[in-house]
Amino acid sequence: MSKSIPEIYGCNVFNDKIMRNKLPKDIYKALKKTIENGTHLELDVANAVAVAMKEWAVENGATHFTHWFQPMTGFTAEKHDSFITPVGSGQVIMDFSGKMLVKGEPDASSFPSGGLRATFEARGYTAWDPTSPAFIKDKTLYIPTAFCSYSGEALDKKTPLLRSMEALSREATRILHLLGNSKVTGVSTTVGPEQEYFLVKRDLYEKRKDLVFTGRTLLGALPPKGQELEDHYFGALKPEIASFMHDLDEELWKLGIPAKTKHNEVAPAQHELAPVFDTTNVAVDHNMLTMEIMKKVAKKHGLTCLLHEKPFAGINGSGKHNNWSMVTNTGDNLLEPGKSPEENIQFLILLTAVIKAVDDYADLMRLSVATAGNDHRLGANEAPPAIISMFLGEELNAIMESIENDTLFEHHDKIQMETGAAVLPHFFKDNTDRNRTSPFAFTGNKFEFRSLGSSLSVAGPNVVLNTAVAESLRQFYEELHGSVTGESSPEQIREKVMELLKKTIKAHKRVIFNGDGYTDEWIEEAERRGLENMKSTPDVLPSFIRPKNIKLFTSHGIFTESEIMSRYEILTEAYVKTIFIEVKTLISMLSHDFLPALNSYAMSLAGSLSIKQGLLGSGSYAEKEQLEKVTEDYNSIYEKLKGLEEALASAEKIDESLKQAAFCHDVLLKKMDEIRMTADPAEARLPKEMLPYPTYEELLFTI
Ligand code: ADP
Ligand code: MG
């Protein structure tokens, strides 16, 4: 008999229940304190936790442990060590200590460091993140860790994330205390990432070099039917897909990942999964695991899961919606519009802090979602535009306007903002649908950052959100703390806060846009408002190192200046490498597969033409026309291929990486597109048996 879901859920996680059972009471308490309040963990506690963890892991079949970390590759990394320790006379014991739990020393020389660490300084450290639970996968105990260099510089995505969560907690708590909410001792951010993906048959996938090497198709004619009927969205799940999703849910549940919603997406063969939200660093770890397990489960089902942002030209790509909010340690969602006026003040100040943050650091938000893959989506009328703006909805917007114009109370009464939250969910629900086009939308009690690409780690965007909001709150505190004290009456506080909000809204309302982000009018309007429209990754990369952004990160202790420079370098190089791989793959496909296929077709046409002409004289005009067309395509693609090879050679010679990235975008990508303009229609004309690889039609419509 199969187990119930509550029995399965988290069965492979060293979770709270197991900790309480296995740990001595004082140790459990000390660990909980670290997890909940971020206090430092002593070695004796770590030792006791290690013993319990190993015992539990071994009981559950684990033979190895690994420090699991998130280097700048964008993937996760792991190196497994077995628990065995020889104790003489051919015997071993299963050993694991606090030291082994807390710290690891992987040879880090082959991970991207952007110049932070020379290869001869190979030492890197992994440090246990006790706030994200350890788990067992494939007979190995996985310990979530942060990864840094010998001199303490972050080499991963988790370290800055944890730093940014601390910064936000610090600043938000200070503001709440100032407002008289003294019960709160910490604020964490919460994230629920909605994940889009494609599923294609594995045997077809394996026959396409472009999918295997780059994750997206570099050639391919559109099928007669695409997504125009929108019949796939929320459509009934096919049995193969339902069975995949079922297994996926179960695997995720075992790991304590609260997979909640699943459905078909807009494009054929596209689907979505959303978990219930969690604390940000746990949500990040879970999303990394989710992507990995999606691939693994797909394989078991004879499928391949495509996480690339744009696997198929002409068909919607995949994104990831980062739902984000802030919650106090007393359990209040700070973006929930409250019932009582004091809570509304709290809500309004936090909401305004977010508005200011988005306006001040729109460039960093844009940067945080910039990758070669995502460039195909942003601004292409299937995903938010590249211009960062935010959506508040009609009524919240009216409240902001009334604060700005000193008409708060009147307006407040009219829409009953103060009498209760009951009206708000109703309102926000009505409005979410109309504003699919906003990059950053308020959706009732959270913001939804919609510009992320499907394969992206959600760490980066949340580092930016947390830090930018922390900075708004820091500035608010600086302005308020002189005039508002613990002794101030609620009216006095309200007055001072309203003054500040008014000024802030005036200064930052340009970033609020409640209309259709897909229109040309918005692009012009945004330009008039002075909002940046950075269309491609090379456009946005330099904004990372703008002085105001370096100041933001360094002043909150998120990145040192050298960490920023290294990340800037890593991002730029990653972009260049991605495009180079795409170009090389396209060259290989054209040379080995596509041009030979065209040539075979030409030869068969020529053969049939000459035979028919021998028999019938000059009457066989169809083959002649076809042959001419194929030859023209062949010559044209051949010429463009030569051009692409030459351009790649020039690109490789450029020694400044940002220039190289710009060249990749302006020259190489353009040349690749030009090849498609001839090759895709030529593919559509090939006889079926001569097609060099599975077509879009087969990939998208055969499950
Ligand atoms: P929609 O489908 O309209 O986008 P949902 O209510 O389905 O909205 O939520 C989408 C995601 O937002 C889910 O992952 C959900 O858990 C997450 N979410 C809900 N509340 C919060 C919150 N306070 N903080 C972060 N994420 C949240
Ligand atoms: Mg959503």
| DSSP secondary structure, 429-440, as one string | HHHHGGGTT-SE
Q: Is residue 136 part of a domain?
A: yes
CA of 83 to the centre of ligand 2 (A): 43
Q: How confident is the model at residue 339 (pLDDT cuts 50, 70, 90)?
A: low
Closest atom of ligand 1 to CA, residue 192? 14
* 573: pLDDT strictly greater than 60: yes
Atom of ligand 1 nearest to the CA of 325: 24
Task: Assess whether 170 and 124 both reside in one domain.
Answer: no
* CATH number of the domain within which 606 lies: 1.20.120.1560
Answer for the pair 185, 329: CB distance below 8 angstroms, yes or no: yes
In this structure, the residue with its CA closest to atom 1 of ligand 1 is: 443
| 71, 210: one domain | no
Ligand 1 binding site (Cβ under 6 Å of any ligand atom): 190-192, 194, 261, 274-277, 323-325, 333, 432, 443, 445-446, 448
What pLDDT, in 10s, does the model give residues 165-215? 999 999 999 999 999 889 999 999 999 999 999 999 999 999 999 999 999
CA 182–ligand 1 middle distance (angstroms): 28
Selected residue with higher pLDDT from 231 and 362 = 362
pLDDT band at 398 (very low <50, low <70, confident <90, very high): confident
Percent over 90 (pLDDT), the chain: 76
pLDDT at 419: 41
Question: How many angstroms does the Cα of residue 191 sit away from the middle of ligand 2?
Answer: 12
Beta carbons within 10 angstroms of residue 547's beta carbon = 7
> Where among 155, 177, 204 does a domain terminate?
155
Which atom of ligand 1 is closest in space to residue 327's alpha carbon?
23
Could you say which of 129, 155, 181 is where a domain stops?
155
Distance CA 176, CA 429 (A): 28
Whether the per-residue pLDDT at 8 is higher than 80: the answer is yes
Answer yes or no: is 566 within a domain.
no
Q: Ligand 2 centre from 444 Cα, in Å? A: 12
Residue 210 sits in a domain of what CATH number?
A: 3.30.590.10
Mean pLDDT of 329-356: 83
Distance 321 CA to ligand 2 centre (A): 6
- pLDDT band at residue 109 using 50, 70 and 90 as cut-offs: confident
Once rounded to an integer, what is the mean pLDDT over residues 299-304? Answer: 98
What's the pLDDT score for residue 41?
84
pLDDT tens for each residue of 79-93: 999 999 999 889 999
Query: Looking at ligand 1, which atom is closest to the CA of residue 432?
Result: 3
pLDDT at 86: 92
DSSP H or E segment with residue 94: strand 92-94
Element (H, E) at 205: helix 202-206
486 HSE (CA, 13 A, CB side): 3
How would you write 537-595 as a 3-class SS string? HHHHHHHHHCHHHHHHHHHCCCCCHHHHHHHHHHHHHHHHHHHHHHHHHHHHHHHHHHH
Q: How confident is the model at residue 562 (pLDDT cuts 50, 70, 90)?
A: very high
Q: Which residues contact 561 (CB under 8 A, 6 or more apart)?
A: 550, 554
The answer on pLDDT for 3 being more than 50 is: yes
CATH number at residue 17: 3.10.20.70
Q: Is the pLDDT of residue 559 over 90?
A: yes
Return the pLDDT at 654: 98
Tokens of 468: 């930018």
> From ligand 2's centre to the CA of 687, what distance in Å?
43
User: Mean per-residue pLDDT for 429-447?
Assistant: 75
Q: Which ligand is nearest to the CA of 328?
A: 1
Nearest ligand to the CA of 336 is: 1
At 416-426, the pLDDT tens digits run 444 455 544 54
pLDDT at residue 432 tops 50: no
pLDDT number for residue 122: 67
Whether 138 and 182 map to the same domain: the answer is: no
The atom number, within ligand 1, closest to the CA of 276 reads 16
Average pLDDT over residues 430-434: 42
Q: What is the pLDDT of residue 430?
A: 40
Residue 425, domain member (yes or no):
no
Which three-class secondary structure string do you get for 98-163?
HHHHHEECCECCCCCCCCCCCCCCCEEEEEECCCCCCEEECCEEEEEEEEEECCCCECECHHHHHH
Residues in CB range of 692: below 8 A, 6 or more apart: 589, 593, 594, 596, 597
332 shares a domain with 445: yes
Q: Compute the CA torsion angle 548, 554, 556, 557 (nearest 10 deg).
A: 160
Mean pLDDT for 671-698 is: 96
Residue 429, pLDDT above cutoff 60:
no
Please determine, for residue 641, whether its predicted confidence score (pLDDT) is greater than 90. yes
Residues in contact with 62: Cβ distance below 8 Å, sequence separation at least 6, in sequence order:
83, 136, 139, 140, 141
- In terms of Cβ atoms closer than 10 Å to its own Cβ (0-12, 13-18, 19+), residue 120 is exposed
> How far is the centre of ligand 2, averaged over its atoms, from the C-alpha of 435 (Å)?
11
Whether residue 396 is contained in a domain is answered as yes
The pair of three-digit structure tokens given for residue 527, joined into one six-digit string: 């330009």
Report which ligand 1 atom has the smallest distance to the Cα of 274: 14
Residue range 35-56: average pLDDT? 89
Q: What is the pLDDT of residue 524?
A: 95
Q: What is the DSSP string of 494-543?
A: HHHHHHHHHHHHHHHGGGB--S-TTSHHHHHHHHHHT-----SHHHHGGG
Ligand number, closest to the Cα atom of 280: 1
Q: Nearest to residue 100, comparing CAs of 86, 87, 82?
A: 82
Q: Which ligand approaches the C-alpha of residue 275 most closely?
A: 1
The chain-wide mean pLDDT, for the chain, equals 91
421 located within any domain: no
- How many angstroms separate the CA atoms of 362 and 251, rounded? 37
Please determine, for residue 410, whether its predicted confidence score (pLDDT) is greater than 60.
no
Mutate to test the pocket of ligand 1, among 196, 233, 277, 449 (most ligand atoms within 8 A of CB): 277
| Gap from CA of 547 to ligand 2 centroid (Å) | 34
Cα 522 vs. chain centroid, distance in angstroms? 25
Distance of CA 427 to the CA centre of its chain: 29
Q: Which residues surround ligand 2, an ion (CB under 5 A)?
A: 321
Task: Judge contact between 418 and 412, C-beta under 8 A.
Answer: yes
Q: What is the pLDDT of residue 396?
A: 81
CA angle 558, 562, 568 (to 5 degrees): 85
Tell whether 542 and 597 lie within a shared domain. Answer: no
* pLDDT grade for 414, boundaries at 50, 70 and 90: very low
CA of 327 to the centre of ligand 1 (A): 14
Residue 348 has pLDDT above 90, yes or no: yes
Alpha-carbon distance of 449 to 435, in angstroms, equals 12
Provide the H-helix boundaries in 221-279. Answer: 239-254
Is residue 554 domain-shared with residue 586, that is, in the same domain? Answer: no
Minimum mean pLDDT range among 34-38, 67-71, 320-324, 329-333: 34-38
Ligand nearest to the CA of 259: 1
Residues 295 and 176 in one domain: yes
Q: Which domain holds residue 592?
A: 574-701
184 and 140, same structural domain?
no
Distance 276 CA to ligand 1 centre (A): 7
Check whether 413 has a pLDDT greater than 50: no
Dist. CA 694 → ligand 2 center (Å): 33
**558 alpha carbon, distance to own chain's centre:** 19
pLDDT value at residue 490:
84
Q: Which of 577, 575, 544 is nearest to 561 (CA)?
A: 544
Whole-angstrom distance, CA of residue 146 vs CA of residue 155: 8
Q: Name, in order, each residue with C-beta under 8 angstroms of 547's C-beta and a sequence gap of 6 or more.
A: none
CA-atom Rg of the chain in angstroms: 28
Question: Residue 455: its pLDDT value, please?
Answer: 98
324 C-beta neighbours (distance < 10 Å), count: 26
Ligand nearest to the CA of 433: 1
- Residue bearing tokens 């973006």: 335
Whose Cα sits closest to atom 17 in ligand 1?
A: 192
Q: What percent of the chain has pLDDT over 70?
A: 94
Question: For the residues 343-368, what does the mean pLDDT come to?
Answer: 94
User: CA-based angle 461:143:456, to the nearest 5?
Assistant: 25
Rounded to the nearest whole angstrom, what is the distance from the C-alpha of residue 268 to the centroid of ligand 2?
19
Residues 6+ apart with CB under 8 A from 235: 264
Q: Which pLDDT value is given to residue 15?
A: 93
In a domain, 422, yes or no: no
Q: State mean pLDDT over 350-358.
A: 97
pLDDT at residue 534 in the model? 96
Q: How many beta carbons lie within 10 A of that of residue 496, not counting itself?
A: 17
Query: What is the atom index within ligand 1 of the atom nearest the CA of 277?
Result: 16
Ligand 1 test: best mutation among 391, 446, 450, 452, most atoms within 8 Å of CB?
A: 446
Nearest-angstrom CA–CA distance, 616 and 609: 10
**Of ligand 1's atoms, which has the minimum distance to the CA of residue 261?**
7
The two three-digit tokens of residue 629, written as one number: 């067309």
Strands 64-68 and 140-149, by their bridges, are parallel
Supply φ then ψ for residue 451, to 5 degrees.
-90, -5
Looking at per-residue pLDDT, the higher value among 330 and 420 belongs to 330
Looking at ligand 1, which residue's alpha carbon is closest to its atom 8?
A: 443
Based on the fold, state whether residues 200 and 136 are members of the same structural domain: no
What whole-number distance in Å separates Cα of residue 267 and Cα of residue 700? 9
**Structure-block tokens of residue 421:** 């939250």
Same domain membership, residue 587 and residue 532 = no
The answer to whether residue 409 scores a pLDDT higher than 50 is no
Asked if pLDDT for residue 611 goes beyond 60, the answer is: yes
pLDDT recorded at residue 412: 44
* Residue nearest to ligand 1 atom 19, measured at CA: 277
Q: Cα 408 from chain centroid? A: 38
- In angstroms, the CA 612 to CA 164 distance is 75
Same domain (yes/no): 147, 175: no
As a whole number of angstroms, the distance between CA 639 and CA 641 comes to 5
Considering the domain architecture, whether residues 359 and 490 belong to the same structural domain is answered as: yes
Mutate to test the pocket of ligand 1, among 261, 278, 323, 426 (most ligand atoms within 8 A of CB): 323
Q: Which atom of ligand 1 is nearest to the CA of 193?
A: 14
pLDDT, mean of residues 310-323: 96
CB-CB neighbours of 92 under 10 Å: 12
Tell me which ligand sits closest to the C-alpha of residue 190. Answer: 1
Q: How far away, in angstroms, is 436 Cα from ligand 2 center?
A: 9
Gap from CA of 681 to ligand 2 centroid (Å):
36
Is residue 625 one of the residues assigned to a domain? yes
How many domains is the chain built from? 3
DSSP 26-57: HHHHHHHHHHHH-PPPPHHHHHHHHHHHHHHH
pTM for the model stands at 0.94
Contact (CB, 8 A) for 676 and 313: yes
Residue 393 forms part of a structural domain: yes
**Ligand 1, atom nearest to 191 Cα:** 25
Q: Tens of pLDDT along 246-284?
A: 999 999 999 999 999 999 988 899 999 999 999 999 999
Q: What is the pLDDT of residue 107?
A: 78
Give me the residues paired with residue 323 across strands. 192, 448
Q: What is the mean pLDDT of residues 647-670?
A: 98
Name the pLDDT band for 451 (thresholds 50, 70, 90). Answer: very high
Ligand nearest to the CA of 443: 1
**Domain end residue (candidates: 136, 155, 174):** 155
Which is the closest atom of ligand 1 to the Cα of 336?
A: 23
Q: How many angstroms is it from 448 CA to the middle of ligand 2?
A: 7
